[in-house]
Amino acid sequence: MSTETPAGRAIRVRSRRDLRTGRRRRAHSCWDHLIAAPLWPLHGANLGTLLRTCDAVGACLAVPRWPWVPEALRRGNTLRTGGCVHWVNDPCRWLADRRDDGTRILGIELAEDAVRLADLPMARGRTVLVLGHEQTGIPPEALDLLNEVVEIPMIGTGASLNVAVAGSLVLYKLAGMA
């Protein structure tokens, strides 16, 4: 389907076939460069949404090894092939270990003195992006492990964004694709 722009040029929406030929045939391997970490999830649907964004930007997803999480990921994964998932036994221990090995631990949270999304540069080194629980945010013991925090400014009436939306916006920025 095409429609005319004000400049008179027709916009042609890419077909499924065009999109398929422009995409990878298999999921990218673990690049271990950018890792989205919803380590205290409440809603399985958000994990599937985040996995899809991770695939789009070449990131990995780190999730807790909780009994319901594998099934939630299976159900929520609408990709043709897997996606890179790291399983985490103890979220705070895992974050502390990543921090010790020199990984930047960036929280995404509504927090005082946070960097605003527009000022966040592309990730230049290995970065873990920590996302909070849907109701209670990032737990205090994990806040202590963060190197930095980024906040997405809001001017509406809602207190916060959906966690998968917030994570996706920041992942695009960190990947240098937005």
DSSP string, 34-78: EEEEE-S-S-HHHHHHHHHHHHHHT-EEEEE--TTHHHHHHHH--
In the region spanning residues 59 to 78, those forming contacts with ligand SAM, defined by CB under 6 A, are: none
The one segment of 8-16, 29-37, 77-85, 131-139 that binds ligand SAM by CB under 6 A? 131-139
Nearer to ligand SAM, 27 or 148 (CB): 148
The one segment of 45-53, 64-72, 76-84, 103-111 that binds ligand SAM by CB under 6 A? 103-111
Lookup: tokens for 29: 């391997």
**Backbone torsion region of residue 81, taken as left when φ is above 0, otherwise alpha when ψ lies between -120 and 50, otherwise beta:** beta
Please tell me whether residue 55 binds ligand SAM under the rule CB under 6 A: no
Please tell me whether residue 161 binds ligand SAM under the rule CB under 6 A: yes
Q: How many Å is the Cα radius of gyration of the chain?
A: 18
Where along the sequence are the contacts to ligand SAM (CB under 6 A)?
108-110, 131-132, 134, 136-138, 151-152, 154, 160-161, 163, 166
